[in-house]
Amino acid sequence: MTNSAETLHTVTLTVNDVPHEARCVARQNLADFLRHDLQLTGTHVGCEHGVCGACTVLVDGLAVRGCLMLAVQAKGRSITTIEGLTQPDQQLGILQEAFAQHHALQCGFCTPGILMTLVEVLQDDPDPSEMALREALSGNLCRCTGYQNIIDAALAAAAALRKNQK
């Protein structure tokens, strides 16, 4: 199959509650599609083979690797990316704020994937132990922070979210 013959598929989906429609080739992965076709460059790509976790986004509320899913597979789905974490009033959300408070990011390249993973993890288990969080983040590599401040931020965010629930 030659490149010019590459079929364009229409993908309609919602990202951060905003409906989008775009055309892309079948081989385009979801992370690249969000970044380059929808200009939502907050989602990052660090390996393209499913290990680093930088590309993690929520698909219908579940954390998945954006590099291991085709954009065409996101048809009709609801995607949440880091850009969707900021509150409507432009304030940082609780988790983002905890990351700033606890110095849980240095270069910030891994951060989007870690935040998106934690959104699901904290929804699942509002009161996780430190070890549970470490295991939940085992699919996210960070070369800068040594993880400790990320874990501390997640614990603090969990506590703040619990308080909010009450």
Partner 1 sequence: MDPRYIGQSVRRQEDDSLLRGMGKFVDDLAPHGLTHAAFLRSPVAHGRIRTIDTTFASEVPGVIAVLTLADLRPVLTSDRLPVQFKSDGLPPNIGPYILAKEEVVYVGETVALVIAESRAIAEDAVALIDLDIEELDPVTGCHQAVQPGAPKAALDRDSNIFAQFEMGYGEVDQSFATAAHTVSLSLVQHRGGAHPIEGRGVLAHPDSLSGQMTVWSSTQQAHEARGFLIELLGLDETLLRVRTPEVGGGFGAKYLLYPEEVSVTAASLLLGRPIKWIEDRREHFLAAIQERDQFWDVEAACDASGKLIGIRGTMIHDGGAYVPQGVNLAYNAATAVPGPYDLPNYKLSVQAVATNKVPTIPVRGAGYPEGTFVMERVLDGLADAAGLDRIEIRRRNLIPASAMPFSTPLKSRSGSGITYDSGDFHAMYEQALKEIDLGGFADRKAQAAKAGRLRGIGVACGIKGTGRGPYESATVRIGKSGKVTVFTGAMPMGQGLKTALSQITAESLGVDPGDITVVCGDTNTISLGLGGFASRQTVVAGSSVTVAAKAVREQALTIAAGLFEADVGDIELVDGMARVKGTEIQASLKELAKIAGGSPGYSLPTGVTPGLEATEYFMPSGLTYGMGVHAVELEVDAETGAVTLQRYVVVNDCGRAINPKIVVGQIHGGVVHAIGNALFEFMGYDEQAQPTTTTLADYLMPTAPEIPRIDVHLAEYPSPLNPLGVKGVGEAGCLPTAGAIVSAIENALGSKNQLIQRIPVMPQDLFQFIQQGKQTDAA
Partner 2 sequence: MKASPFAYFAPGSLQEALDLLGSLDNAKILAGGQSLMAMLNLRYAMPDQLIDINGISDLAGISDLGARLSIGAMTRQRVLERDTILLQKAPIFREALLQVGHIQTRNRGTIGGSLCHLDPAAELPALAMLYDATLIARSANGERALPMAEFPAFYMTPALEPDEVLTRIEFDPWPQDSHFAFVEFSRRHGDFAIVAAGCLFTVASSGTIERAAIVLGGVGAAPMRLTEAENSLIGQVPGKEAFDSAARAAQSIEAMEDSVYSAQYRCHLSEVMTRRALIKAWDRQQERAA
Ligand X SMILES: Cc1cc2nc3c(=O)[nH]c(=O)nc-3n(C[C@H](O)[C@H](O)[C@H](O)COP(=O)(O)OP(=O)(O)OC[C@H]3O[C@@H](n4cnc5c(N)ncnc54)[C@H](O)[C@@H]3O)c2cc1C
Which sign does the torsion angle of CA 100, 103, 104, 105 carry?
positive
Q: Is 17 exposed, middle or buried (0-12, 13-18, 19+ CB in 10 A)?
A: exposed
Please say which residue, 80 or 145, places its beta carbon nearer to ligand FES: 145
**51 contacts ligand X (rule: CB under 6 A):** yes
Closest C-alpha among 20, 22, 23 to residue 6: 23
In the bound complex, what is the minimum distance in angstroms from residue 50's beta carbon to ligand X?
A: 3
| 111 sits near partner 2 (criterion: CB under 8 A) | no
Q: Of these, 46, 64, 122, 156, which contacts partner 1 (CB under 8 A)?
A: 46
One character per residue 61-90, x = contact with partner 2 (rule: CB under 8 A): -xxxx-xxxx-xx-----------------
Of positions 35, 40, 42, 53, contacts partner 2 by CB under 8 A: 53
Own/partner long-range contacts of 134-138 (Cβ < 8 Å, ≥24 apart): none
Determine which residue in the list 117, 149, 153, 158 makes contact with partner 2, applying CB under 8 A. 117
- Rule CB under 6 A: say whether 76 interacts with ligand X: no
Decide if residue 162 touches partner 2 (CB under 8 A). Answer: no
Among partner 2, ligand FES, ligand X, none, what does residue 72 contact (CB within 5–8 Å per kind)? Answer: partner 2
Yes or no: say if 43 and 34 are a contact pair by the CB < 8 Å rule.
yes
Asked whether position 27 contacts partner 1 by CB under 8 A, the answer is: yes
Report the interface residues with ligand FES, using CB under 6 A.
Answer: 45-48, 50-55, 65, 67, 105-111, 142-145
